[in-house]
Structures are given as structure tokens and as C-alpha cells.
Amino acid sequence: MAQVLQIQAQLITSPIPSSVVDPNLIAVKLIGACADHANVRQAALIFAHLASPNIFAHNATLKALAQNSHWFHAIQFFNHQVSSPNAPNPDEFTFTSVLKACAGLAHVVNGQKIHAMVTKQGFESNLFVRNSLIDMYFKAGYLLIARHLFDEMFVRDVVSWNTLVSGYCLCGCADEARWVFDRMREKNFVSWSTLISGYARMGRLEDARRLFDEMPERNVVCWNAMIAGYAQNEKYSDAIEVFRMMQQFGGVVPNDVTLVSVLPACAHLGALDLGKWIDGFISRRGMALGLFLGNALADMYAKCGCIAEARRVFNKMEERDVISWSIIICGLAMYGHADEAFGCFYEMLDCGVKPNDVVFMGLLTACTHAGLVKKGLNCFNTMDKEYGVSPKVEHYGCVVDLLSRAGELDKAEDMISSMPMKPNVIIWGALLGGCRIYRDSGRGQRVVQHILELDSDHSGSYVYLANVYSSMGRLDDAAKCRLRMRENGVLRTPGCSWIEVDNTVYEFFMGDLSHPESNKIYSMIRELMWKMKLAGYKPKTDLVVHSIDEEEKEDALSIHSEKLAIAFGLISTSEGTTIRVVKNLRICNDCHDAAKIISGIVKREIIVRDRSRFHHFKDGVCTCSDYW
């Protein structure tokens, strides 16, 4: 690229005399190089310096614009070309590129205008142009016209068929796509991966997997289609499983697209070892840390609790956007490092990056986790006024949570009534949490009414009411609430924890007996319980759980998933190894207490990432200082 820039600089300062060599020839090469490096501005600059650009120069520039998704500019460029008297007439390559731009914008009016030109200039039966027309009509949602153009073709190639398959997939017609696919005489990798991605986008993962398994051979695009399909549908363990298959039997090397799909799966499941392996793979292969790959890698480290590593990746990235900054800020927030999160925020402003709503979510969460009421309110009040980011319902939720936890229940309720949008269950739930902690049962009962209006099956409300009634001696009413809650209990998200041991992610549910080493796990738990009792631990088995929207009490048979994961970690890793567990819900009071004591007894660091933050247990204490 440096060389390109150098030649280009010469071109600008001293136009090459046309007697020596055709400037168009050099320009086409330069524009092509710029396009491959997504440097569209340079390509346009080079074009602008040509005294009399020929059709190749026009096409190269148009292609550079279309290929890099500058669709609007591509159409503008085309319109300029056809309206300038001295410009060369468009040919098949011109039409193919501009139709791609129309397809990208799903702009049928422009597309039809170009279609008319295509017909007038006799290109309608040209295979490339025809394929682009079909693609354009599909992307604009005109299925019948697209199909008609396909049916009327004299000659079709595999691209024509693939366009039809992808068109139907795009419109959500998976069965039509399959029908076409089954009638293709010649299929290539694109045909297969298009249909796999199509199925995956519609959530039909079993169909996608069946097709994937049927493939006679696969290239990296096909593997990527299956892995991305699982990752986008939140089937993270399956995404990782297919990635491992690819490495073992695939005979193909993962590329940046593969890694961008696998890294979020690692982040979600806390599969740090695999994430680290991918980091090493990127360095060994000398892969460029572009925006997508860099962000995915930094996010994986941040979500696995390695904020310093996340920052190292961030510093190494070739370019950064607001997402890159938000990854670091939110990562710090999940650890409750409010000062560092704000420090990073100011650094971002100094770099001239405009904050977005995710950044403010990170800052507010940091304040909530650290209990910084004044700072949080200040941040909330300035986000719209100073930075032009209007607060969404999540931001209000964060502030209500912050105020409720700090015992400012009046202010929290005022905040809810001042909201420009309708408060949701999560917002009322945050206030209810405050009512429970500060024993404000009058307000609590009022809040419960609001919640039940929005969600009549809200189990947390029944738990709360049951506790209020029993404390008031209204035992019959309390029993009714518990009954109602049991009836609805099946609808709740089951608590689930993950732990990575020897490059495999293990999944545990409450009271899980499905693990092959179940016996050992449960005897480990019994041993720990006994040692913990000696250390003064009393299990909190009353119905009052820490967080009213989360899990219920446990008995001997229904041990929470995080305890199972911790016990499994202890029996399957060597002494001194840090135990890292990820949980899908908030950790309950009892498991939190247990983890603290266990970290002291076994002399190990235990890191639990729950739904809202990190807990780092060491020597009997947690970094959250019991505030979460």
C-alpha cells in the first residue's frame, strides 16, 4: 500500500505525460489496489486526476465503490458517467457494478431505470448483467420479477442458480430455496454455504446442520457458514464444537471470518483457553488486527475478566471505533472499576470519538456496581445535554437500580414517573429490589401491582408478596402466593453455569446429575459443606433469595449450577489453578457466601461472571465487597 500511495502522490503532483505511457493503464492498477485495501477515497482521487478517463478507469472506480459498500456514491458516479457527453458508454462491467449498488440499497427505482438502459443497449441477455439484475430485484423484494428474469434466461451458469437460492433465502423462503437447490445440476461451495446460512438465519439449525453434514467436501466459507449460524443463534457450544471439527478433520485453515464467529462464543461461555489459543494463532499467522477481529478479540478478553489483555489487544489494533472503546469501558464496569472506566471515557473523548448509548450503559453500570450515586446521576444528566445521546429505557433502568440499591427509594420512584417512555418490568423490578433490601413493604406492594399489570406471571413479585405476607402473619395469603409461583415456575430461565477444563466447556444446570463424574462432584460438595460449616458458614435456605427475579432456595438435591461448576473445577484442575465460572443469571446470596469461604479453604482464586458483573473471590473475600 505504501508503494501505491507513493506512486499516487507523484501522479497528483506531476501528471504523467500521455506520450510516455497511457495514464489510464496506471490509474486502473492503482484504483484496483486501493479498492482491495478498502481505500475508496484514494481511488476516487486518482480517478479525478485523469484528464480523459476511459471505460476501464470508470469501471475500476465504480467497482471500488460498489465492492466497498459505498453504494450511494456508486450510483452517483454512474449517473455522472451517463450524463457526461464525453464519458464512455457503460458496458457489462459498468452495469454489473451499479446494479450491485442498487441491490445493496434495495433501491428498485434506480434499479428499474438501469434495467431500462440495459435493455436499450442490448445487454439484457448478457449472463453477468442478467445475474446482477436478478440479484437486484430479489434484494429489493421483487420476487416475481426476479424469478421471471431467471425463467426467461437462455443460458444459466452456477451463479444464476446461486443467485436464485440466495434470493429466496433472503426473502425467508427456505423451502423455495431448497427446491431450487435440489434441482441444480452443478453446485459449488457457494451454493451449499448460501443455503446453510439461509437456514441458520431463519433459525432452522437442524436443517442447516443436516445439509452441512451431507456436503461431499467443504472449504473455509462452508465451515464459516455453519459456525456463524450457531453463534448467531446463541448456540455457543455447538459453534465451538464445529470449530474444533474444522481443525481436526477439515483440512482448512480458519480465517478472520471464522475467528470473528468463534470469539463471541468463547466470550459467552468464558472459554478463555480457546480464546487465548486464537490470540496466539492470530499472532503466529501474522493476521492483521482489523476492526472486526480486533474488537472480537478484545471483547473476548474483557468478558473473560482479563481486562489488561483486552487493553493490550486494543492498543495493538490498526484502527478503533466507538465499539472498541465501549468494550474496554464495559469490561472495566463489569469489574466495578468505576474510576478506570471514566478515565477510559475521557481518553476516548480526547481521541475525538463520539460516545454512543453502549458507552453510557458501561459508565452507569460501573457507578451501580460501585455504588456511586452522585457520579451516576451526573453522568445520566449529561449524556443527552452534552453528548447528544438520549437515554433509552436501559439507561433509566440502570439509574433506578443505582438509586434503589443506595436506599434512595423516593428518588428512584420519581425517576420512574419522569420517564418519557413506559417503564418495563425490569425497571419496576429494580425498585422492588430496593424495597426488599430497605424493608419498605408499603411501597413494595404498590410496585408489585405495577409489575403484575405488565406481567401477571412475574414470579419475583409472588416471592416478594409471600415474604411480606408471612412477616405480617398472613400465612394463608403467603401460601397462595407460593402456590401461584410454583405454577409459573416452569417458565423461568433455568440457572446454568459453564466452566472450561482442558479445552472443553462443561455445562451445569441446577441439581444436574448428567455429568459422568457426578458422583465425584457431589462428594466434593459434601466435603466442602462440612469444611465450610467448621469455618462458620450457615446455608441461607430461607425463601428470601438475594435477587427476587432469580433462583429459588436450594435443598440437598437441587444444588445451584455455580456450586457444581466450582466443585468440578476443583476436582479436575491442579492445585492453585484459578477457577473461572460463567453463570447466565445473577449469583445468589448463598452461592456468593459459599464461594467466598471455599476460596479461603482451598486456597484458590475463584472468578464468577454472572449476568451483571465479575466476582473475584480470594482468601475469603470478594472484589464486589458484597455489593452487587
Q: List residues near Zn ion by CB under 5 A.
A: 560, 588, 591, 615, 622, 624
Q: What is the rounded CA–CA span in Å between residue 545 and residue 551?
A: 7
Closer Cβ to Zn ion, 203 or 494, answer by number: 494
Grid cell digits, residue 215: 456436503
CB of 75 to Zn ion, least distance (A): 55
> Concatenated DSSP letters for 488-525?
HGGGSPPPEEEEEETTEEEEEETT---STTHHHHHHHH
Between 242 and 595, name the residue whose CB sits nearer to Zn ion.
Answer: 595
Minimum distance from residue 626 beta carbon to Zn ion (Å): 6
Q: Which amino acid is at 99?
A: L
Shortest spacing between CB 139 and Zn ion, in angstroms: 49
Maximum distance among all Cα pairs of the chain, rounded to whole angstroms? 102
Nearer to Zn ion, 268 or 563 (CB): 563
Q: Exposure of 171 by Cβ count < 10 A (0-12 exposed, 13-18 middle, 19+ buried)? A: middle
Which grid cell is 10? 507523484
Least separation in angstroms between residue 334's CB and Zn ion is 12
Contact 613, 334 (CB under 8 A): yes
Q: Which residues pair with 617 in a beta bridge?
A: 606, 622
Q: Are 447 and 424 in contact (CB under 8 A)?
A: no
Of the two residues 130 and 369, which places its CB atom closer to Zn ion in the complex?
Answer: 369
**How far apart are the C-alpha atoms of 353 and 618, rounded to whole Å?**
37
For the beta sheet containing 614-618, the strands, ordered from the edge strand earlier in sequence to the opposite edge, are: 504-509, 496-501, 579-583, 606-609, 614-618, 621-622
d(CA 585, CA 583): 6
Beta carbon of residue 246, minimum distance to Zn ion (angstroms, whole number): 36
CB of 533 to Zn ion, least distance (A): 17
Closer CB to Zn ion, residue 199 or residue 335? 335
CB atoms within 10 A of CB 179: 13
Nearer to Zn ion, 364 or 622 (CB): 622
Q: Which are the contacts of 162, defined by CB distance < 8 A and separation ≥ 6?
A: 188, 190, 191, 194
- In terms of CB distance, is 262 or 565 closer to Zn ion? 565
Nearest to 582 by CA among 334, 398, 371: 334
Sign of the Cα pseudo-torsion (33, 34, 38, 44, in order): negative
Residue 489 in grid coordinates: 415456575
Smaller CB distance to Zn ion: residue 395 or 560? 560
Q: Which is nearer to Zn ion, 156 or 615 (CB)?
A: 615
**Could you tell me the smallest distance in angstroms from the CB atom of residue 487 to Zn ion?**
23
Cβ contacts of 503 within 8 Å, gap of 6 or more: 273, 274, 277
Nearer to Zn ion, 6 or 541 (CB): 541
Q: Is residue 227 within 8 Å of 212, Cβ to Cβ? A: no
Task: Please report how the helices 189-201 and 158-170 are oriented relative to each other, as an axis angle in degrees rounded to 10.
Answer: 0
Min dist CB 472 to Zn ion, Å, is: 27
Nearer to Zn ion, 422 or 538 (CB): 538
Kindly state the DSSP code that residue 20 receives in the 8-state scheme.
Answer: T
Task: Supply the minimum distance, in Å, between the C-beta of residue 429 and Zn ion.
Answer: 19
Report the sign of the C-alpha dihedral through residues 122, 123, 127, 133, in that order.
negative
Tell me whether residue 226 or residue 510 sits nearer to Zn ion (CB atom): 510
User: Percentage helix, strand, coil, to 5, in the chain?
Assistant: 65, 5, 30
Minimum Å gap between C-beta 431 and Zn ion is 22
User: CA 531, CA 603: separation in Å to the nearest integer?
Assistant: 13
User: Distance between the two ends of the chain, CA-based, in angstroms?
Assistant: 50
CB of 236 to Zn ion, least distance (A): 22
Q: How far is the CB of 515 from Zn ion (least distance, A)?
A: 18
Minimum CB distance to Zn ion smaller for 45 or for 496: 496
- Residue number with CB closer to Zn ion (11 or 581): 581
Smallest distance, Zn ion to C-beta of residue 537, A: 13
Q: Which three cell numbers stand for residue 540?
A: 441461607
The number of helices, as runs of H, and strands, as runs of E, in the chain is 32, 6
Cell of 563: 456450586
Smallest distance, Å, CB 402 to Zn ion? 17
What is the CA 600 to chain-centroid distance, rounded? 36
